[in-house]
Amino acid sequence: MRILLLCHSFNSLTQRLFVELEGQGHSVSVELDVADSVCEEAVALFRPNLVLAPFLKRRIPASVWRAVACFIVHPGPPGDRGPSALDWAVLESRPQWGVTVLQANDDFDAGPVWAHASFPMREASKGSLYRAEVTQAAVTACLQAIERFEHGRTAGAAEPEPELRCADGDGDGDGDGDGWRPLLPQSARRIDWARDSTARVLARLRSADGQPGVRDEMFGLDCHLFDGHPATPAALAAVPAAPPGSVLARREGALLRRTVDGGVWIGQARNPLACGDGPAFKMPAAMAFAAQSAELPLLDVPLDRDAQEWGEIRYRELGPAGARVGCLSFDFYNGAMSTDQCRRLLAALQAVRRRDTQVLLLLGGRDFFSNGIHLNCIEAAAHRPDDSAADESWRNIQAMDDVALELITLTDRLTVAALRGNAGAGGAFLALAADEVWAHQGVILNPHYKNMGNLYGSEYWTYLLPRRLGAAGAAALMQQRLPVSAVAAQRSGLIDRCFDTGALAFEIEATTHALALAAAHNLAERVARKRHARDTDEARRPLAAYREQELSRMHRNFYGFDPSYHVARYHFVHKLPHAWTPRHLAVHREAAAGSAERA
């Protein structure tokens, strides 16, 4: 079928559906929901059999849903309606949740249901649930709904039959069921530090993460808080007693705040005073309150520590001596890696390379393996006296390169990047710095930089990518700027293995396979081959030469006359709505432009 994806932005869910539908042989095009007239134009140009709307912030115009069947993906079970579905579910600690695919009509979220899927809830942020459970359930439900719709069409039915005639909660089809939940207001998210338990504080923070955050006060200043994690009794014992709400210590970029029955680490904050005159954006909490945080005690933790003790970088070892696997995870918020985070990761890599292990398993973060340099921290630098976004970009990419270099030159053991979540831009190339790259079937890679204002990119991609895809394959991938599923990535040789599992089972599978690799009878031979290949490559062209060439182009991106990267980063960090759909996504417009040119 011809399927038009209509979306507010080409987000992770939309990307996943895009690759799944293309993988099934459908002809897919994308239109960003900019205005009713643009949507009407897209339908006229593409003539889709079906419009699928995975992520919308506005209603589909009646002129469109009357002309063509439009399926809406609602992140809630049948009967649930409203714009804050997942927020409410997380806030209310629902044990089970779901996704419904319903047909657009003149009532909000109340059209006929074509399919739905459910999942058990996990103690996690809204964003994390959205990127994992919701996305997986949405794929299941969408594929089922599309199959049902397609079957009806091919069977010649006058009107294909949905699963349920309505989604309005009371089953009478009049759309007045009681499933409507309004936009979750800040008043319902408010934290009462003098009363709320740690569990309540966390539920509030998680229901508002990634957006809009919980409105609060810190150090007497209005701000929004994000990214909450429980503090352990051990962490709390290390700081003096203080009333609930007090900010007690810092760790990495996070701040420790007392609750009535414990404490929480607040990872991210939005403080307008740290963002100059422009609109505020989130950044590591310790950076958002830099002066105040500098006064707080630093509560560091060892890499190898208790599983409950929160921290971004963690290391543990498994397996017997001589067949040991070191597992290094770096769970950076949103997969973004600031200069500071890269330097800490580099120090961790330098520490773990001194350990006697045979395989190093790089687990990245749970939600994202990595998304490259930290665009918000770079934006923040623009608002600091004596600093600039260009300077911070430059420091950040150097620090990323140092991490990649450490991995590429780790030649006394095998390294494996296990992608538990998606990887984008420099983060995707960081994975390629390992000897092997494994992922599960839900992972999406965006191994290209151009979407960020035509950034050239570094992380030794000019060395790492052609050795996997050849020069032409590498150039094509960088040019097309599209998401790639793990399945397709394995097929093309971009990654080595795609496990047919969900995210949770993948971590166990990856660890089991890493242990088998460490115990393999030919391990020594493989390591020797790897060292020899590295030496040969180095003799042919030193890594320093790749880095120098890439960075000369990046220097131009950061400091040159063309401001595209700075403009794109500003738009990205401030979440400015798109004014038009990029041509590589809107293939219907590309085709129309082509025929106009030929005429």
List interacting residues with ligand COA (CB under 6 A).
Answer: 11-12, 127, 210-211, 334-336, 371-376, 422, 424-426, 446, 449, 451-452, 455
Sign of CA dihedral 145, 150, 155, 161: positive
Other Cβ atoms within 10 Å of 372 Cβ, number: 27
Minimum Å gap between C-beta 44 and ligand COA is: 28
CA distance 33 to 39: 6
Minimum Å gap between C-beta 487 and ligand COA is: 18
DSSP string, 319-350: S-TTS-EEEEEE--GGG-B-HHHHHHHHHHHH
For ligand COA, which is the closer residue by CB, 85 or 517?
A: 85
Minimum Å gap between C-beta 57 and ligand COA is: 13
CA distance 441 to 33: 28
Contact 389, 566 (CB under 8 A): yes
Minimum Å gap between C-beta 424 and ligand COA is: 3
For ligand COA, which is the closer residue by CB, 126 or 251?
A: 126
Minimum Å gap between C-beta 338 and ligand COA is: 8
Using CB atoms within 10 A of its CB, is residue 155 exposed (0-12), middle (13-18) or buried (19+)? exposed
For ligand COA, which is the closer residue by CB, 103 or 268?
A: 268
For ligand COA, which is the closer residue by CB, 168 or 392?
A: 392
User: HSE (CB half, 13 Å, CA atoms) of 547?
Assistant: 16
For ligand COA, which is the closer residue by CB, 425 or 586?
A: 425
CA distance 319 to 323: 6
User: HSE (CB half, 13 Å, CA atoms) of 72?
Assistant: 31
- Edge-to-edge strand ranges of the sheet holding 113-120: 27-32, 2-7, 50-55, 70-74, 96-103, 113-120
Contact 30, 10 (CB under 8 A): yes
Does the N-terminal peptide bond of residue 302 adopt cis geometry, omega within 30 degrees of 0?
A: no
Minimum Å gap between C-beta 330 and ligand COA is: 14
For ligand COA, which is the closer residue by CB, 246 or 451?
A: 451
- Looking at residue 598, its amino acid is R
Helix, strand and coil content of the chain, in percent to the nearest 5, comes to 40, 20, 40
Minimum Å gap between C-beta 430 and ligand COA is: 9
For ligand COA, which is the closer residue by CB, 100 or 458?
A: 458
For ligand COA, which is the closer residue by CB, 154 or 211?
A: 211
Minimum Å gap between C-beta 197 and ligand COA is: 25
